[in-house]
């Protein structure tokens, strides 16, 4: 089974960025944990700060992979283009957030990703990604 985690803007700074919200671990370290936990899966990781690159990646993997775990970060709340990409592809997308966006500012309560997503997992810290993987199994 082939699953890709796609992370959007500023998630390359996990570990340093607002650790009181996002924790103190880098995504690279967490991804290594996931790979050793799910040895039977082909797990991939992609991150970009650029909206168009995220859309390109969704199109590239979205007809052949078994699952996409998407944390579109700030673009969640702004990007019609990414929302359309989720709807345009065949591979199911699980939307993930580290924080509980509904406990935060009002602008984070809107998601352009959710309408096309298979499901949404948020608020469990980095563990949200593991729960998303398990949802595909």
Which residues are catalytic, by number?
A: 22, 97
- The residue within the footprint of ligand DQA, chosen from 2, 10, 66, 114 (CB under 6 A), is 10
Decide: is 131 part of the binding site for ligand DQA (CB under 6 A): no
**Least distance in Å: CB of 7 to ligand DQA?**
9
Contact positions with ligand DQA (CB under 6 A) in 45-64? none
What lies within 8 Å, CB to CB, of 70 at 6+ separation is 6, 8, 58, 86, 93, 94, 95, 96, 113, 117
Cα angle at 98 between 23 and 43, to 5 degrees?
Answer: 100
- CA separation for the pair 86, 107 (Å, rounded): 20
Give the residue among 5, 3, 8 at the shortest CA–CA distance from 82: 8
Decide: is 26 part of the binding site for ligand DQA (CB under 6 A): no
Decide: is 25 part of the binding site for ligand DQA (CB under 6 A): no
Task: Please give the residue ranges that form the binding site for ligand DQA (CB under 6 A).
Answer: 10, 71, 73-74, 76, 97-99, 101, 108
């Amino acid at each position: 089974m082939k699953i890709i985690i796609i992370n959007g803007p500023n998630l390359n700074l996990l570990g340093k960025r607002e650790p009181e919200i996002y924790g103190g671990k880098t995504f690279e370290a967490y991804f290594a944990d996931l790979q050793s936990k799910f040895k039977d899966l082909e797990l991939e990781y992609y991150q970009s700060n650029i909206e168009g690159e995220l859309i390109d990646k969704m199109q590239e993997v979205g007809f052949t992979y078994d699952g996409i775990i998407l944390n579109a970060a700030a673009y969640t709340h702004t990007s019609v283009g990414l929302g359309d990409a989720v709807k345009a592809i065949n591979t199911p997308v699980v939307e993930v957030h580290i924080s509980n966006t509904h406990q935060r500012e009002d602008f984070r309560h809107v998601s352009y990703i959710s309408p096309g997503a298979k499901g949404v997992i948020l608020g469990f810290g980095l563990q949200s990604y593991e729960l998303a993987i398990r949802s595909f199994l």
